[in-house]
Structure 1
Amino acid sequence: MSTAAPDHAQPPALEDLRVGLVGYGEVGRILAEDLRAAGVAVSAYDLKLKSPSVDADTMREHAVQFGVALSPSATMVATPADLVVSAVTASQTLDAARAAAAGLRPGTFVLDFNSASPKAKREAAEAVHAAGGRYVEGAVMTSVPPYRIKVPLLLGGPHADAIAPLLARLGFAASVGSAELGVVSATKMCRSVMIKGMEAMVIESLTAARHYGVEEAVLASLKETFPGIDWDRQAAYFFQRVIQHGRRRSEEVREVAETVRDAGLTPWSAEGTAERQAWMADLAEDGLFGERGDPAFGRSPDWRTEADRLLAHLARPKLPPQG
């Protein structure tokens, strides 16, 4: 049985509200900027802060610039918070929920922003509710950066109605999708079969077309079939997003595959998409597309630049195995 506080408990005034972010990557930092602009106190934790890296340096610099208090653990972020927002990679969803739950005060909202399967979200909810918190499933329905805090967000679970007014005050564009846990995540996961699959297919199709010298014919045919899409521009965007965030996307699509499998289908498409996204992430981490941290990293306006890098990489002689 849930030990969560009743939903009529009132949150503090906006200027007294304390928000804790578990996950301080791209999404976490965007939310932090917009919350700080609204005058809200923000603290944050991220696993990457535990070891030296370009990402950790970026997080620390950002925290100083925007007045975000960095914490040594997810549990410590959750302890003083009135609202905890979890924005980690899909594979860390349950661990993040359990760590935050260890520090929750009764009645604290936990908004799970992560792209995880309905099963993972239900397990995360169990951990939060057992600690007396109020878990709210969030399904982010498109890419965050263009919309920032106003990204379309579906809320799910028994506390979705209770958190909606608070999120509106904070500037979120959230709407209640279902009182049943798992429903809005299933919506997100099924959508991702298409969206993340399109990213992988476009990279595969146009890189192969570039190899054969038929990319203009392929693009012309796509334009005829789908005249509402600027395929050159869309392809550039897909390449950019996968190069920059392929690791996170591959983890999400593995959750998508589990969602499809739980429906009784073999997730052939989702599994292939996850492999392509992970392959791109490996190459990005090996420096094929430039140095991560460089403002130009993965941001070429012409997909052909990145396709040519892929083709040059594939054309290199393969070294024989050692030993």
Structure 2
Amino acid sequence: MQLEHIGVIGYGEVGKTFASGLRDKPGVQSVGAWDLNFIDPARQADEQAHAARAGAVAQASMRALCQASTLVISAVTASNTLRVAEEAAPHLRPGTLFLDLNSASPGTKQRCAALVDAAGAHYVEAGVMTSVPPYGIRVPMLLGGERAAALAEALAAWGLDTKAVSERLGVASAIKMSRSVMIKGLEALVIESYATARAYGVEDHVLPTLQETFPSIDWSRQGAYFFSRVVQHGQRRAEEMREAANTVREAGFAPTMAAAIAEKQQWVADQAKAGVFDGLDKQATWQDYADRLLAQRSKD
């Protein structure tokens, strides 16, 4: 399996992690990256400088990245999953492995695979099973597709936590998306429940009852973590949950909960974009986040 030249599409948090984490692996001769920010006058200099420090070549285009790579890793937002496959497929070299890390529905992944495979490359889907930080490139991943087992073995030899779950495309994504309904749903529930309790001044009654029912969870600490992650990544989570809703729909059910979770995640993302949480540091409590929402409510 030829993995000498790695190309990362999407140079955000995940893309940066994989570009820097894979550059020194045995047999890797080059790591490149492509992101629209590389040609954005406002961000070009900073992003290209970051890539240079990380030992990654900031490619000039999608075409340049694909033609220079034997392993292409797609690490973009959920809403861009299919578009990236559409743009990359015509430029992929025959035999290239295309590893799709994006949080998308089984149907979306299958459409991506059809494009990549038609170009003579080999599509492998990945279900990234938790937040990349603090695991880095060792984040648990489930792989699916005809080349999943071989790629999982190769990546595991590099120290990655990869497991092939099926040769059938869509299985890894179904696992990931079903889990996301629960995890992102918990985030949305906590934010709505805690902010409401804070508004009524009853949090000192509510949280102890949660602690009694689920004693293994530190509900105050977990609440702070959930708030912080949604504030930081709510847009990405909202897009993921729209794909989760597609997954539910593809299974033949109405995505009542998944759609509502996407809406709540998007609402928090919009609040963050509006500056509601500006100035809060990493040590902020869930009450700090809730108080910002309550203060904004009084202004609306």
TM-score with structure 1 setting the length = 0.88
- Tell whether the 8 Å contact from 1:239 to 1:298 is kept in structure 2 after alignment: no
- Tell whether the 8 Å contact from 1:112 to 1:137 is kept in structure 2 after alignment: yes
Aligned counterparts of 1:170 and 1:139: Cα–Cα separation in 2: 18
Aligned counterparts of 2:280 and 2:38: Cα–Cα separation in 1: 21
Q: Cα gap change, 1:58/1:210 in structure 2, threshold over 3 Å: closer, same or farther?
A: farther
Q: Cα gap change, 1:284/1:37 in structure 2, threshold over 3 Å: closer, same or farther?
A: farther
Alignment match, 2:282: 299
Aligned counterparts of 1:289 and 1:164: Cα–Cα separation in 2: 40
Aligned counterparts of 1:204 and 1:49: Cα–Cα separation in 2: 38
Q: Please report how far the alpha carbon of residue 162 of structure 1 lies from its aligned counterpart in structure 2 after TM superposition.
A: 2.3
The partner residue of 2:103 within 103, 112, 115 is: 115
Aligned counterparts of 1:177 and 1:128: Cα–Cα separation in 2: 20
Percent identity between matched residues is: 51
The one-letter code matched in structure 1 to 2:181 is: V
Alignment match, 2:36: 47
The partner residue of 1:198 within 186, 196, 219 is: 186
- Tell whether the 8 Å contact from 2:165 to 2:172 is kept in structure 1 after alignment: yes
Q: Cα gap change, 1:79/1:25 in structure 2, threshold over 3 Å: closer, same or farther?
A: same
Gaps of 5+ in 2: none
Matches of residues 265-284 of structure 1 in structure 2 within 5 Å? 265-284=253-272
1:29 matched to 2:12? The reply is no
Q: Cα gap change, 1:91/1:214 in structure 2, threshold over 3 Å: closer, same or farther?
A: same
Note the alpha carbon deviations across 1:211-269, whole angstroms, 9 max, x for none.
11111211101110110011111111111111111111000000000111111211111
Q: What secondary structure does 2:23 align onto?
A: helix
Q: Cα gap change, 1:298/1:285 in structure 2, threshold over 3 Å: closer, same or farther?
A: farther
Q: Cα gap change, 1:104/1:239 in structure 2, threshold over 3 Å: closer, same or farther?
A: same
Q: Cα gap change, 1:122/1:298 in structure 2, threshold over 3 Å: closer, same or farther?
A: farther
The one-letter code matched in structure 2 to 1:173 is: D
The partner residue of 2:135 within 123, 126, 147 is: 147
Matched length: 298
Aligned counterparts of 2:222 and 2:63: Cα–Cα separation in 1: 40
The partner residue of 2:148 within 160, 164, 175 is: 160
Runs of 4+ in 1 over 4 A off after TM superposition: none
Aligned counterparts of 1:53 and 1:302: Cα–Cα separation in 2: 33
1:90 matched to 2:78? The reply is yes
The partner residue of 1:216 within 184, 200, 204 is: 204
Q: What secondary structure does 2:123 align onto?
A: strand
1:11 matched to 2:25? The reply is no
Q: Cα gap change, 1:97/1:254 in structure 2, threshold over 3 Å: closer, same or farther?
A: same
1:313 matched to 2:296? The reply is yes
Q: Please report how far the alpha carbon of residue 60 of structure 1 lies from its aligned counterpart in structure 2 after TM superposition.
A: 2.8
RMSD: 1.6
Alignment match, 2:174: 186
Q: Please report how far the alpha carbon of residue 299 of structure 1 lies from its aligned counterpart in structure 2 after TM superposition.
A: 3.0
- Tell whether the 8 Å contact from 2:8 to 2:34 is kept in structure 1 after alignment: yes
TM-score with structure 2 setting the length = 0.94
Note the alpha carbon deviations across 1:20-67, whole angstroms, 9 max, x for none.
00011111111112112437421111123332456x565333212212
- Tell whether the 8 Å contact from 2:100 to 2:124 is kept in structure 1 after alignment: yes
The one-letter code matched in structure 2 to 1:218 is: V
Q: What secondary structure does 2:143 align onto?
A: strand
Aligned counterparts of 2:200 and 2:22: Cα–Cα separation in 1: 49
Alignment match, 1:77: 65
- Tell whether the 8 Å contact from 1:140 to 1:151 is kept in structure 2 after alignment: yes
Aligned counterparts of 1:140 and 1:93: Cα–Cα separation in 2: 14
The one-letter code matched in structure 2 to 1:191 is: R
Gaps of 5+ in 1: 1-9, 291-295, 319-323
Q: What secondary structure does 1:102 align onto?
A: helix
